[in-house]
Amino acid sequence: MKVYWLLLVILAFAFVFIFTILKAKSILEKAEKQNRRLKQQMTSNVAHELRTPVTCIRGYLETLISCPDMELEKRKTFLDRAYNQTLRLSELISDMALISKMEESPEMLPIQSVDLGYLSQEVFEEFAEPIAAKGIKIDNFLQEGLVIHGNSSLLHALLRNLVENSIKYAGDDIRLHLECHSRNDQTCYFTYYDTGKGVPEEHIDRIFERFYRVSEGRTRESGGSGLGLSIVRNAVAFHGGEIKVENRPNGGLQFTFSLNIR
């Protein structure tokens, strides 16, 4: 009788073990299938995004080569357009490389003390010309001395892409607001918002996706890579934080995010 119960226990453990192995295998296969699908989608998206600037550059250059007697002013216009497309292509490649490095080799990114107050001033100064041209007002409440231990390039990309997103899409005569609204020994909590157009609610949950467009052609028309907010999300995650986005009741888009101090 004891042998009988012992065999039942052994069989039960064997069944549980086999079931666990099969379930784990199923989960792994599902994860691998999902990864393959994401990689295929990413490859398709990248090819799609590269095609436009490359096609434009080729078209402009072919026109210049086939029309050697083109008047100087028109020739300059074509060269300027081709050059602008090379800038877009360069931005796209740089952004893709940055995302890949964050995801595949984060340990290769150097860590140092970064003054976010100073860094934010640099970012706003970088966009001084379009800010002035669009009549944008700046409320930057990050003071020098707000230091965290992180990667300077990623933190710069985080702030730069938030500001650039507002400048490109929020409209004219708006206000940009940046502050650290609270902190403790481990974490700083930030709010960034603009007072512009905002985003239709049906798109809010997807704006951090790579190459996602609120409206077709929006990124192409503005000259962006379509990766800016994806970089923002990944940069926040790299620094141990979280980010969320919402439309403000009085208009505009608001991002709240956290960054680990160390």
Averaged in consecutive runs of 10 residues, what is the pLDDT profile of the chain (262 residues)?
54 60 62 56 61 83 88 88 83 78 80 95 94 96 93 92 94 96 94 94 87 59 69 92 94 96 88
pLDDT of residue 93: 79
DSSP string across 198-215: ---HHHHTTTTSTT--SS
Contact indicator for 197, 251 with CB cutoff of 8 Å:
yes
Q: Three-class SS of residue 258?
A: strand
Cα dist from 97 to 43, 91, 209, 228, whole Å = 13, 10, 16, 12
The amino acid occupying position 59 is: G
Q: What region, left, alpha or beta, does residue 79 occupy, with left being phi > 0 and alpha being psi -120 to 50 degrees?
A: alpha
Query: 201-209: long-range contacts (C-beta < 8 A, 24 or more apart)?
Result: 201/247, 204/245, 204/246, 204/247, 207/245, 208/232, 208/233, 208/243, 208/245
pLDDT of residue 169: 92
Single out the residue of 149, 160, 63, 153 nearest to residue 111, CA to CA: 149
Q: Domain 2-106 class?
A: mainly alpha
Alpha-carbon radius of gyration of the chain? 25
CA–CA separation, 5 vs 75, rounded Å? 91
CA–CA separation, 194 vs 167, rounded Å? 9
Q: Which helix (H) or strand (E) segment is 244 a member of? A: strand 243-247
Pairing of strands 187-194, 253-260: antiparallel
pLDDT of residue 82: 86
Question: What DSSP designation does 107 have?
Answer: G
CA–CA separation, 162 vs 138, rounded Å? 13
pLDDT of residue 228: 84
Single out the residue of 255, 136, 253, 161 nearest to residue 199, CA to CA: 253
pLDDT of residue 27: 63
Within 105-217, where are the H helices? Answer: 116-126, 128-133, 152-169, 201-204
Q: Domain 110-260 class?
A: alpha beta
Contact indicator for 233, 165 with CB cutoff of 8 Å:
no
CA–CA separation, 33 vs 110, rounded Å? 33
pLDDT of residue 44: 57
The amino acid occupying position 244 is: K
pTM above 0.85, yes or no: no
Instruction: Indicate where the chain has its CATH 3.30.565.10 domain(s).
Output: 110-260
Instruction: Indicate where the chain has its CATH 1.10.287.130 domain(s).
Output: 2-106
- Give the alpha-carbon dihedral of 102, 258, 244, 207, to 10 degrees: -30
